Copies of this chain bind each other. A is one copy, B any other.
Amino acid sequence: MTETTEPTEPVAKRGRPGYDQRGILEVAVAAFNEYGYDATSIGMLAERLGLSKSAIYHHVASKDELLQLALNEALDGLEGVLIEESARTGDAADRLAYVLRGAVRVLVDRLPYVTLLLRVRGNTDVERSALARRRRFDRAVAALVVAARDEGSLRADIDPGIATRLLFGMINSIVEWYRPGGPESADQLADDVLTVALDGLRVDASAKR
């Protein structure tokens, strides 16, 4: 944007002007999601970017590194939520609500990256490492569900493991239909998820609050 309004401002980019590593990553993630990682080649990315393959290799060592960078983008976001103050102190139920809300926000803000993460099946070392990090995140949330139940905030008649899976089912499904710029903001969507998950859709459930 500043390039248009202030064309003389120096732009800190390596390699061919117009694309930095970030720009290449965005195009790569879109292609991985559209065609699948295996079916996407550096040659296809070069064509989409209007770059030579060697220009791409100036920014990244391999297609594998692009996958790693993309998955990090999703996982760093999710793990970042867990280490925030509000995720670490206070009642478990409040911490759980904070983390679920944060997960929805990361999913919306980093939609293509989380979409890619959710499709990973563990076919390579990079994928297996990403899956391991994703499982650690899930386990941290599951532990919050258990703690919230133990402190008496969450109902005890649903297995915490099942409750956690249903929560993530609801949240992760957002990648299937949410499109940025739609009528629902990330905050509204997070409100909706929290409302359904904690209070349910039934009217007498909301009337008592």
Residues of A within 8 A of B (CB): 93, 145, 152-155, 157-159, 162-163, 165-174, 176-177, 184, 189, 192-193, 195-206, 208-209
Q: Is the CB of A202 within 8 A of B206?
A: no
Task: Select which of B165, B172, B192, B200 is within 8 A of A200 by beta carbon.
Answer: B200
Q: A154-B201, A162-B192, A197-B201 are in contact. List 11 more A-B contacts (CB 8 A).
A: A145-B201, A155-B206, A158-B201, A163-B201, A165-B173, A166-B170, A169-B171, A170-B173, A196-B196, A198-B201, A200-B200
State how many copies of this chain the complex holds. 2
* Chain B contacts for A205, CB-based, 8 A: 155, 198-200, 205, 208
CB within 8 Å for A206 and B157 given contacts A198-B201, A201-B198 = yes
Residue of B nearest to A151 (CB): B203
What are 10 of the A-B contact pairs (CB < 8 Å)?
A154-B201, A155-B206, A159-B192, A167-B201, A168-B173, A169-B169, A169-B174, A170-B173, A199-B200, A204-B208
Q: Are A153 and B192 in contact (CB under 8 A)?
A: no
Q: A34–B176 Cα gap in the complex (Å)?
A: 21
**Which residue of B has the minimal Cβ distance to A156?**
B203
